[in-house]
Structure formats: C-alpha cells, structure tokens
Structure 1
Amino acid sequence: MKAYQLLLLLLLLFSQGAWAQMTVRGTVHNQQGETIPGVNIYIKGTYTGTSSELDGTYELVVEGNEGFVLIFQALGFRTQEIPVQQGQVTMELSITLKDAINEMTAVTITAGALEASDEKKAVVLRPLDIVTVPAAMGDIIGAFQTLPGTATVGNDGRLFVRGGDASETAIFIDGLQVGNAFGTTASNVPTRTRFNPNLFKGSFFSTGGYSAEFGNALSSALSLNSVDMPLRSQGDISIMGIGAGYNQTLVGTKNSLTAGANYMNLGPYQNMVRQNFDWEQAPASWDAEILGRQKLGSNTLLKAYARTERGTMKIWQAQPGIPQERGILLGVDNRYSFAQVSAKHTGKKDWSMYGGMSFSTNSDFLTVDQLSIRNTNRVFHAKGVAIKDFSEQFSLKSGLEHFRFDYSEALPLEGMERSFEDQQLALFSEADLYLSNRLIFRIGLRTGYSALASQTWIDPRVSFAYKFEHEGQLSIAAGKYSQMPVEEIRVNQTNLQNTEACHYILNYFLSKNGRTIRAESFYKTYDGLITYDGGRFAYQNIQQNGSGFARGFDLFFRDRQTFENTDYWVTYSFVDSQRQFYTFQSQVQPGFAPKHTLAVVVKHFIPSLKSQLGTSWSMNDGYTYTDPNFPGEMNSKTRGFQDLSLSWSYLPKPHLIIHLACSNILGRDNIFGYNFSPTPNEAGQFDRLPIRQTAPRFLFLGIFITLSKDKSANQLNNL
C-alpha cells in the first residue's frame, strides 16, 4: 500500500472515531433545587463513568456509535437510569434525583402517638420504663399515667385520656381487642390491668388521631405487642410482700413456651399497714397464663396466649346519712379467662399479613347486703390485615374485622335477667404516601355495621407529617371515631346508636442526642353521648342528646444525656373539657378530667452500689364534684392531688434483684370527691363522706430471681 493511501485510511479511521465520540455534561440537583456533589454517573454494564463535582456538574466522554444507558446513583437518593441515543457530539443532560425513602431517617407521623419500643426511633418510652416508674408499682397503666394527655384518677385506676371516660380507651394485644382488660373491683377501690408487663416488647399508646385500624374507642387506643421469641430458657421467681409467682420459659430452635402462675393476698399486708377502707375480706387473687410461639419457615410466626384468673374481696362501704355503723357490705367474686391466637407473615413481592382471633369471658358475682347480682360479658374478635408496599413511596394496609359482644346481668334470687348480643363487622383501609424523606400523607377510612343497632357508620381519618432539616417534625391529624355505649346502659335499651367523637391534633416532635421534646395541641368534639335519669339497675329516660368538647395541649421533655447515669422526664397537660352526659342537665367539667396535670419521673443508676434509685412526683389541680348543698352542677372542686413516690432497686447478683417502692411517701390525704346522702338531714344539709385512697401509702417489697443453665440470664434488664 502506498504511503498516501495509508495516510488516507488513517485519516478516515480518525474521522470516524471522532464522529463516534460523544460528550455528555450537565448538573445534578435534588428535589429542593440544590446541587448534589459526589453522584456516581456511569454507563450501565461498563466501568466507564465519572462523579459530579462540588457544584453538582459533571462531564463524561463516551466512545462508540451505539446507544447506551446512563446511570445516576447517590446515597440517600433513588437511582435513575437515562437512555441516551448516539448521533451528536455534545449533549446537555441535567437531572433531578428524588429522595430514597429510608426507614431510619424518614419522617413518621407522631400526632397523638406515644410509643414504647426498642426498635423504632419515634418513641417516648422504652418497654423497660413501664416496670421501673416508681408510682406505677409494676402496672402498665400506672406508667402511662406519667405521660401527656392522661389523668390520674386514684379511686379508679383505669386510663382516662383528654377529658374522656375510661370506657373510651380500647386495649389491644398483638392487634386484637381485649375485653375487660381491668380487674373487677368495688366502688372507689382502684383496679389494675390484668396482664404481666414483662410479656410485652413494646406498646403504642395514642391519645387521639389514631389509625383506621383501631375502632370501638372514642378517645384512646393502647396497643401492646408481645415478645416474639425469648433469648433463652430460664425460670423467674417472684417473692413479694403481697404474694408470689413463678414463670418458666423454654426456648427451642423454632419455638418457645412461657408458662406462669401467681397468687396475691393483701390480707397480711393490710393487717400491718393502716387502711382507709373497712375490709371484711382483703383482695385476693390467683392467675395462670401460657404463651407459645412457633416459627414456620423464615417468614411466619404463630403465637398462642391464654390466661385465666379469679379474684375476690369484701368491703364495708359507709353511706352518708345512713345510721348503720359500718355501712353496706359489698362482695366481689370475679372470674376471667382470655385466649388468643395470632400470626404474622412476610410474603414475596412486598406483601405482609397479620391477624388472628381473641376471646374473653368475664363473670362477676356481686353481693350488696342481701342482694345477689351476676354479670357476664363475652367479647370475640377476629381480624385479618394485608399490607402491600407498591413502591418505597406508596403502601396500602387493608383489613376485615368481626366482633361479637354478649352481655347479661341478672338477679338470680329474684329470677330476673336481661341480656343482649351484637354482631359487628368492620372494614378499614389506610394508605401511606411518602413524597420524600421529609413529607408523608396518610389517609384512612373505617366503616362498620352493628346488627343489633341496625346502624352503618363511616369514619374517615387523615394525617400529615413534615420533617425539618434540624430533624424535628410537625404532624397534623384529624378523624372521626365511633363507639357503642357501655354494656350496662345498652342492655336497658338495645337500639342505642354509636356515640361519636372528632379529633383535631397538631404535634411537634424532636428526638436527638438522647433528648426528646414533644408538644401537642388538640381539639375534640363529642356527639350522641348518653344521658339518663336514675342509676344502675334503674336507668330511666335514656337518650343520646349529650354532647361536649375537650381542648388543650401537652408538653413532654425527656433527657437521658445531660446527667451521667440519669434519666428523667417531665410532663404537663392542660385539658379544658365540658360535656353533657349521664345525669347532668348541662355541659360540665367531668370529675375525671382535671385541668392541670404535672408529672416528673427521675431514675438514677449508681454502679458502685449496683442500684437504681427512682422518684416520681405527680399533681393536678383537683377533681370537680356536685355539692347538693349549693345550686348548680359540678359546683365544687377538691384540693389538688399530689403523690411523691420513691423506689430502690438493688442488684447484689446478676440473677437477683431486690425492689422496694413506696407510693405517696408523704402520706398526703388525697380526696377524689364526696358521696352525699340522698336526702337532707334535720338541719336541711346533705351529709357527705370523702372518697379517699385505699391507704395513705402503699409499700411494695419484692425479690426477683432468674434461674438459667448457662448463667447468662440476669435481672439487669428489669432495672
């Protein structure tokens, strides 16, 4: 080949190569319009690529004459693939990367939510806190009464939330509703939850604006999640001043079994410590429970839980204006059983499911002097829920529920009985839409039908949350909530319809560097509340013309960082509640809804003494009541409630803990209201008796021992 021919060929090849070379340049932005440095930009299937500069610009030279796919990839953003056709020398390609939804950094809806968990970030308490709050005395509800939005009603013991009655709070275990979650007690004698707090790994407590998944509750939902799989086999012995118990846990490769029993008797304790009440027979109870878990493959977990218990007491209740020396003798014999089966499954293609069935039966045998009363309440709940993550931005949860409520009350000696049965069906669906890591919308709809009331209802609910750059977030929630009247009223008039409430909530939440700040304002309306004349077993003129509202705000601050080995939180709630209900002829401030509530909890661990010291102080501005000696309703108020409680937990050995706690250590005479005589005395005045605590103080001493083969089990987690 001649030289000029070779030169011509080389020039031709060079010109073809130049024509097949392409330069792609541009700038990469985020959704806020800011440039992104360090974005990986490369041709799919090759190692050819580059990275964006500090100002977000890039330039990439591509050889060849075929089309290609350009990939943009950066941490925290969704990867984008852009097809590019060859045929030009220079191409301008600027793109916007969308945020990737990261479960650990994404915004979460916190309006109304108070979570106790070791897994999620938007939490207020840990499961450990439920059993270590000094004033709680190991009761789940006692711990939650130190949280915002709740009120301490010392002569009741149940959960009162934002101006709502205790019956307006529903309790769930693994998503299934629990019937009669509190033990039966005598009038003005506080009760406790029936369930052992150590069974649960976490809880979700909502003071309003909660998910469409939860129904049959006007004011609040408390969802408890049981432990999935224990760490080891072990035995736990409890020796207390009021009783004893034993729990045994056996753990296999894919299954576990926990069984336990307890016996409590306050008789010996009450003989040593002065009581405000006149006991004929001190409260005594026994219980037994079993919880089994079985893994099926790697994606399915089954749980079965059963509990049975019996409790008795007899108490003389003095009556104002009645000449009997000791008053009326009231006896309580309560028998309760609860069982449930639940399952959760993680499927393919981003499907997950959970659900199950629960059944509870509660029988009360009551004696009031010569009158015998028998009440029976049964609740059955079946539920199935499916969740589909269609993308990292959109998730849909839908479920179907069936309820059966059976209630009866009888006077056996008189041969009188009344009862009702109601079947209810509920459907719900809820969608989460993540627009970015900073913005989420949730919209839900719940619909239900009651066969007994012949009523269908629809409850829409919506929530929104936005996360700021400093990691604090703002949430807004609104929704409608429905609940049938309480059983003892409904049995008198079975065609009663739902009572209704509407919630409106604005919330700010920040959890960072061991500190948590939560501020929330709320407004709640009531409609269709029950009003009547008379009293129990004598309800007359039952109507649903009551209404009301509750408004206010909550503040919560927790700090685990500032002081070494010290954890403390402060809660303040303001609740302005007015409602016409029960026998009231006008809207009044309920006796269970103090306006101002403050709680402080401090826990400090001393390593050298192997001890944790705890204190909790709570107060409110008093409880309203009606004094018939003056005109009007709810025309008086007690002096403010105060309680200072202390606790000391000592760990002399890893498997042994000694716990001592005392409530109301200052012995303050807290009064929750007054009972008045039905008729005036000779001076024209209505006699009264104060409603007090069962005792000036309650002292608890417990010794807890853990037994295990490998000696690795210990009581440290209970401190």
Structure 2
Amino acid sequence: MQMRLLLSSFIFFFCQTLLAQTTLTGIVKDAKQNAIPGASISLKETYDGATSDSTGRFSFKSTEKGEQVLVVTAIGYKPFEQKLLLQGSNQQVTITLKEDVTELKAVVISAGAFEASDRKKTTVLNPIDIVTTASANADVTGALKTLPGAQQVGESEGLFVRGGTAAETKTFIDGTLVNNFFYSSIPNVATRGRFNPFIFKGTVFSTGGYSALYGQALSSAVILESIDLPEQSSANLGVSVIGLSGGYQQLAKDKRSSWGVSYGYTNLWLAFKAIKQRQDFSQIPIYHTADANFRIKTSRTGMLKYYGYFSTNKLGFTEPSIDTLGFNDAFRLSNFNMYHNLSYKESLNNGWKIIVGTSFTNNKDDIEGYLQNGEDKKVVVEELERKNFALDSKSSFVNGRLVLEKKLQGLSMLRFGGEYNYSNEKPIITTYNGAAYKNSLVQNVSAAFAESDIYITNNMAAKIGTRAEYASVIDKINIAPRVSLAYKLGTNSQASVAYGIFYQNPENRYLPAITDLQFAKATHYIAQYQKIASDRTLRAEVFYKKYDNLIKTDYRNNREVAINSKGYGEASGFDFFWRDKKTFKQFDYWISYSYLDTKRDFINYPQAIQPSFAARHTGSLVVKKFVSKLKTQFNGSYTYASGRPYYNISYDNTTSKFSIMDQGRTIDYNSLSLSVNYLPNVFKQGGNKFTVLVFSINNVLNSKQVYGYKYSYNGYRKEAITPSSKMFVFIGAFISFGVDRTQDVINNNL
C-alpha cells in the first residue's frame, strides 16, 4: 500500500514538472535578416539553453518559472538580452543581433592615404621596404616616389603630389610640423631628407583628403611616427665609400626607459672622383650629422619621447654661365640645422587619452653666388649684377600641439585639440655693391580641430572633422570641413570616398606682401577601391582637386612680388597600385601608375597652363627577390614619366605683363636602378650580430634625363637641366651589435 502511494506521488510530481516546462523556440538573425548559425542561447544564471543550427533556429526546454532573462551571444556580434515571462506555455522568439565593431573585421578609412607601417591593415610599404627600394637611396621620400600620386621631379627637393608644388606637401613627426625636413636648396639639384628612416616605426603618405588634425598643406601630408622603446641594447656601425656612421642604444634593465646617440660623417670626394659631375665642385659636399634620444615608459600606457638632431654641411661649385660665355656661375652653401621633438601620450580614465607634442627647429644658411671669370676671380658684369649676392638667413620655428581622444562605443573615437606654430625668419641679403637689406618675418598660426571616427557597423564607417586656423601675418581665419566614408564590399575589399577643404599660408618668399593676400585653398574629391588579402594589395583611386586663391606675381622694383590671391587651377586623374608577395616564392613586386590632368594660373603664368613640375603619366615597377640559400636580396626599380612642359616666361616692361616667349616638352623620363643586399656570416661566435653589405647603382642604363630648361637673361639661349651625374654607385657595410635583423629581412620576403 505504501509502495503504491509512493509511486502515485512520483507520477503526480513528474506530471506536474512536465506540465510546468516551457519550450522556447526561435531564430537568430542579423540586421540584414540573414541566419546566424552557432549562436549560444541560454537563460541567465541557469543551465538551460541551446545553440542555433545552420538556419539560425534553436529549441530548448526549461522548468524555470516567472521572469527570466534570455541571453544570446555570437562571435562578431554584440551580446543580446531580453526579459521573458515563463508560465509553462510554449514561447517563440525572433532575435536580431547587431554586429560588433572590432578592429579585426572593421572597414578601414583609407581614401587618399598610403600606410607604411607594420601594424595597420592598410599597409602598403613597411620600414624595410623603404630602405631596400633600389631607387630610394634609403630616403623616406625616395621610397614614397615609387607610389602613385608622386611626381619624379629631380631639379628641386620635396614631394610634388597630384599637381601640387613641393611647398604644398608638409611633413609631421609625432604629430608636429617639421620645418626644413630637406637639406637646404641647391640650384637645379634635388636634396634628400635629413632624417634616418630607421627612427620611424610608421609612415602615412596621404595624397589628399587627410585628417583634420593636420593643416597648412594644400596637396599632401607625410605623417611619421618615431619608434618607442628598442627591443634591447644595441650598437651599429656603418662603413661606405662616402662616409662612416655609428650609434648606440641603451635599454634599461627594467625595460621601461632607454637612451641613444648616433653620429654620421659623409664626404662625397671619392664618389665624385669616380663619377663625373655636371658641376665643378670647389668644395666637395661634406656632412656631419648627430642625433640623441631618450624614451621613458611613464606608466602601463604612457610614453615620453625625445628626439634631437644636429647637422652641418658645406659645398661649393661652379658651372658655365648661360648668360655670359667664358664665365662661370659660382655657388657656395654652409648650413647648420638643429631639431628637437618632445612628445607625451597617456591613457586616462573612462576611455580618455591625451597626446602632447612640441618641436623646435633652428636653421642657418650662409649662401653666396657670383660670376667668375676665366681666372677664377669674382667679377660684376653689367645687367647681370643680380648674380653677385650673399644671403645670411637665420630662422627659428616652434610647434606645439595638444590632442584629447575619447573612446566611444566599439571602435568609434572622438578627437579634438589645438595647435600653435611660431616662426621667425631673419634673412639679410647683400648685393653686388655691398648694400645690405635686412628683413624680419614673424608668423603665428593657431588652430583648433575636432574629428570623430564613427563605426556604424563593421561594414560602414565615417571620419568627420573640421579645422579652424588663424594666421597673424595675413590676419585671416579659415574653417575647413573634411569627411571620409568607407564601406566594406567583401571580406578583403572596400570602397571609400573623401571630401575636404584645405588651406595654406602664402609662401614666405612672398611675405610680407605689398597687398592683402588670402589663404590658398584646395578642395579635394576622392573615390577609392581597395582590396588587401594574402600578401596582395590592389588600390585604384580617382580624384579631382580645385584650387582657389593662389598667389599671382608681378615685377616691382626689379623683383618679382605677390600682388594678389586671384590665381586658380584644377587637377584630376586616377592612380593604380598593385603589390604581390604571394604568386612567386620569395619574390615581391609592386606596380604603380598615375594619370594627371592639371592646369594652373598662378605666380607669373600668363594664363592657366600645365605646370612645369607635372607629368601626365608616371609609373613605377619595383621588384625584390630574396634567395635564402645565398642570404641575398636582389632589388630592381624602374620609373617612367612622360615629358614635362617647360616655359620661358618673360616680363615685358612695355606692356607690364608676363608672356611665354618659348615653350616645349622634355623627353620622357626613364630610370632603372639595381641594388644587392647580402647578409654574410661575418661574426661566428657569441651575441646577436647582424651585417648587411649593400651595392646599388642608380640609372644603370645611363638614360638621358632632362628635368627642364633654363634660359639666359635675354632669352636667346637655353640649356637643359640634367642630373649632376647620369649614374651613382653606392657600396657599404652596415653592422648591428645586439639585435639580429636577419630573420626580419628574410620573413619580409617570404
């Protein structure tokens, strides 16, 4: 009887339990109503749950009663919670998950910008690429010239980008504007950048549409980020046919701070003896450079960095004068340059971050030019008195910058801050008769900016910002809005568009002006397609730029001066870039091509014409092959540019107007450069030692290159502007003690 009663009770409670169960069924979808398989569905703080199948459907039972919380999670989506009231009856739910914006999957806002770092998804070049590109000669801007958008200008220093002058491209180190990035100008010779590429861990080359955090550049911005703490203490030594170099980096035992120094000596005597130069150098170029740095990790997320650079150089040469046959034009230059950069960044509470930077530059040029007769003596010739002059120029620049960054939901960010630039230039010009003319130009440029990265989904993002500037020398204010949008088309491809307005002060050579001048203005429109996957990169970009308020000049008191800001222009075209490191084993190559259609009416141009620095077609092929067994990398670089226009623009005193007296187009530019990097086992015992032997030749085929033409003062004679030498050969050895980079080089080419 008792047994029967116990069994009846068990059956009763079992039936009650079955009656109290709730069956939950449903489907999990994304915002586009696509099924999400593998999602985890459960009641919070219980063991009741299930996993969605391939169609996104799920079903499970629960004995829980009352108000419960349904929790749904899936990789790549934001967690989902929903309150349910369980009463024993079956329930059906439809769940829509929102995509979780993550750095791994998110679209990259990239219109107009090439990255050269080892940590960004938009990477096109990395630091090793920069120093192993055959034609670059270990110069950052030399490597950037192999990318689409950059022009092959060899008669003047700087980067000429998409129809813009070199002055319209600005360089920034750790956020602050760099003045005198290139060595001082030499007539009809392009000088290289001052800074060693190994001090930078990242490079952004923006050919247009760059961030609102940067200004004072109509065409392009090169944004460089210096390295943080080194991996370990190390030393390096360099020996070449043109000089010596050495350096040391000390990392503290706790790996929270470091300091370092380096020195370099360059003397081109041997190179000029072996390779004939167009000029007759009376003072062979000699360079002394030194730098120092310290880096302190102030906290888990904070970093304080200092970098200081010093250089001196001298050179002097003569060349036959085009104005007076039998005479020479002589040029002498002595330069001292000092640069200091201090930066600090730290993550604060509640998703805030602060970035502070300041830099100081001091530059001094002593330049002398004069006519020299057949006996190597200075002479003054009537109507050519302007050729005899001396320029003593001293300049100081101070830049300060503060950026506050707030992390929003997902990858979204808000940045805002301010910038201040101060410059003081004091040139003294001494004429042929000893008269000295002093000038002083002090400028203050202050700016405020705000910008936000908005990630709507992993497939769609926007960068919206604005920048406002005030320039004291022209007493004007500008406001520059900028917008970029990116949409992910597939796993590895995306489309981007960008729009922006960019302003720039008139160049210092036109200041102070005799009239009221405006900010020069450029409006950019860019559309880009990009696909990056499996060591392959494809980029295609179309652009249009409209220029307003460009400087126009006239002749007053025997010199060219700015008279208004009524110049204008436009540039349009498309760029193409393809890089492939996968198809052929240990073989890396990239192809770039640019088409440019541009006209300008500025400076002394009598009407809108194609600028003399702009080629319609430009292309590069860079090839790198690494042979593991030989520990040798073979590099080749071929560059082509269609002929550029040249003009003889003269001032007619009768009509008081400029006119084109002669014009034409140069021959096409061709250059093939080769280099070999060999990694020998020089040191057999102990420690990490890395050695690379370098052999390179620029313009192997001795191709004739003409950058333009210069004219005599009366316009009757013209002469081609050509490189100082058709070919240049470099041989050197570089040894690193403490850090073995062999595997880095090998891995970069696998």
Normalised to the residue count of structure 1, the TM-score between the two structures is 0.95
Q: Percent identity?
A: 33
Q: Please report how far the alpha carbon of residue 667 of structure 1 lies from its aligned counterpart in structure 2 after TM superposition.
A: 1.0
Deviations 1:117-149 (A, max 9, x none): 111121111111000000011111110000010
SS at match of 2:131: helix
From the superposition, tell whether residues 523 and 241 of structure 1 become closer, same or farther in structure 2 (CA, over 3 Å): same
Q: Where in structure 2 are the equivalents of 1:47-446 lying within 5 Å?
A: 47-87=47-87, 89-252=89-252, 253-326=255-328, 328-369=329-370, 370-392=388-410, 394-411=412-429, 414-446=435-467
- Count residues with an aligned counterpart: 710
How many Å separate the matches in 1 of 2:415 and 2:12? 64
User: CA RMSD, aligned part only?
Assistant: 2.3
Structure 2 residue identity aligned to 1:299: T
Aligned match of 2:678 in 644, 650, 657?
A: 650
More deviation, 276-285/554-563: 276-285
| Residues 109, 475 of structure 1: 8 Å contact kept | yes
- The separation in 1 between residues aligned to 2:741 and 2:534, in whole angstroms, is 28
- Map Cα deviations across residues 418-455 of structure 1 (whole Å, 9 max, x no partner): 12212222111111111111111111111111223221
Q: Assess if the C-alpha contact under 8 Å between 1:267 and 1:281 holds in 2.
A: no
* Alpha-carbon contact 1:627-1:636 (below 8 Å) kept: no
Q: Which of 663, 677, 702 is the equivalent residue of 1:635? A: 663
3-state SS of 2:198 partner: helix
Instruction: Check 1:235–1:601 CA distance in 2 against 1; reply closer, same or farther (3 A cut).
Output: same
* Deviation of the 1:349 alpha carbon: 2.6
Query: How far, CA to CA, are the matches of 1:265 and 1:400 in structure 2?
Result: 42
1:481 is aligned with what amino acid? Answer: F
The runs of 4+ residues in structure 1 deviating greater than 3 Å are: 1-20, 491-495, 534-537, 627-635, 714-719
Please state how far the C-alpha of 1:579 moved relative to its aligned partner: 0.6
Q: Deviation at 1:628?
A: 6.6
CA separation of 1:432/1:256 partners in 2, compared to 1, >3 Å: closer, same or farther?
same
- 3-state SS of 1:222 partner: strand
Alpha-carbon shift at residue 15 of structure 1 (Å): 7.1
CA distance in 1, matches of 2:303, 2:351: 17
Query: Relative to 1, partners in 2 of residues 1:393 and 1:236: Cα closer, same or farther, differing over 3 Å?
Result: closer
Could you tell me whether the CA contact under 8 Å between 1:490 and 1:496 is conserved in 2? Answer: no
Q: What amino acid sits opposite 2:339 in the alignment?
A: F
Give yes or no for contact 1:232–1:713 (8 Å, CA) kept in 2: no
In structure 2, what is the equivalent of residue 486 of structure 1? Answer: 507
State whether residues 612 and 647 of structure 2, in contact with CA within 8 Å, keep that contact through their aligned partners in structure 1. Answer: no
Q: Structure 1's 99 and 142: CA in aligned 2 closer, same or farther, altered over 3 A?
A: same
Partner residue of 1:525 out of 527, 546, 559: 546
Q: Deviations over 1:649-705 (max 9, x none)?
A: 11112522110101011111201111111215xxxxx11111010101011111111
Letter in 2 for 1:400: G
Helix, strand or coil at the partner of 1:94: strand
Amino acid at match of 1:68: Q
Q: Which amino acid aligns with 1:687?
A: R
- From 649, 670, 674, the equivalent of 2:705 is 670
1:510 counterpart residue number: 531
* Mapped contact 1:265–1:285 kept (Cα < 8 A): yes
Paired amino acid for 1:333: S
> Where do 5+ consecutive residues of structure 1 fail to align?
681-685
SS at match of 2:187: coil
Corresponding residue for residue 551 of structure 1 = 572
* Residue of structure 2 aligned with 1:580, choices 577, 595, 601: 601
Q: Is the 8 A contact 1:274 1:695 kept in 2?
A: yes
From the superposition, tell whether residues 628 and 582 of structure 1 become closer, same or farther in structure 2 (CA, over 3 Å): closer
After superposition, the Cα gap between the structure-2 partners of 1:10 and 1:268, relative to the gap in structure 1 and judged at 3 Å, is closer
- Residues in 2 aligned to 1:258 and 1:314: alpha-carbon distance in whole angstroms: 33
Q: Cα distance, 1:631 vs. partner?
A: 7.9
Question: Which secondary structure does the structure 2 equivalent of 1:130 belong to?
Answer: helix
Q: Cα gap change, 1:105/1:535 in structure 2, threshold over 3 Å: closer, same or farther?
A: farther
Q: Deviations over 1:561-590 (max 9, x none)?
A: 111111100111001110111110211111
Matched, 1:472 2:493: yes
Deviations 1:44-99 (A, max 9, x none): 12222111122111122221322111110111111111121234612221011111
d(CA) in 1 for partners of 2:426, 2:568: 28
Alpha-carbon contact 2:510-2:561 (below 8 Å) kept: no
Aligned equivalents of 1:131, 1:409: Cα separation in 2: 36
| 3-state SS, counterpart of residue 559 of structure 2 | coil
Give distance in 1, aligned partners of 2:72 and 2:527. Answer: 38
Residues 606 and 659, structure 2, Cα contact 8 Å, conserved in 1 = no
Give the AA of the match of 1:285: Y
Does the 8 A contact of 1:188 with 1:691 survive in 2? yes
Contact in 2 for aligned 1:588/1:634 (Cα 8 Å): no
When the two structures are superposed, what TM-score results if normalisation uses the length of structure 2? 0.91
**Separation in structure 1 between the aligned mates of residue 53 and residue 700 of structure 2, nearest angstrom:** 66
Query: Is the contact made by 1:620 and 1:640 (CA closer than 8 Å) also made in structure 2?
Result: yes
CA distance in 2 between counterparts of 1:633 and 1:401 reads 45
In structure 2, the residue matched to 1:683 is: none
> Does structure 1 conserve the Cα–Cα contact (< 8 Å) formed by 2:516 and 2:564?
no
In the alignment, is residue 713 of structure 1 matched against residue 740 of structure 2? Answer: yes
Q: Secondary structure at the match of 1:615?
A: strand
Other structure's SS at 1:151 match: coil
Q: Deviations over 1:317-350 (max 9, x none)?
A: 4332323432x21111111110011012123332
How far apart, in 2, do the equivalents of 1:638 and 1:306 lie? 42
State whether residues 420 and 494 of structure 1, in contact with CA within 8 Å, keep that contact through their aligned partners in structure 2: no
Amino acid at match of 2:190: P
Q: For 1:274 and 1:415, locate their aligned partners in 2 and report how far apart those are by CA, in whole Å.
A: 37
What do residues 279-317 of structure 1 show as CA deviations (whole Å, max 9, x unaligned)?
A: 221221111101111011211111001111111111224
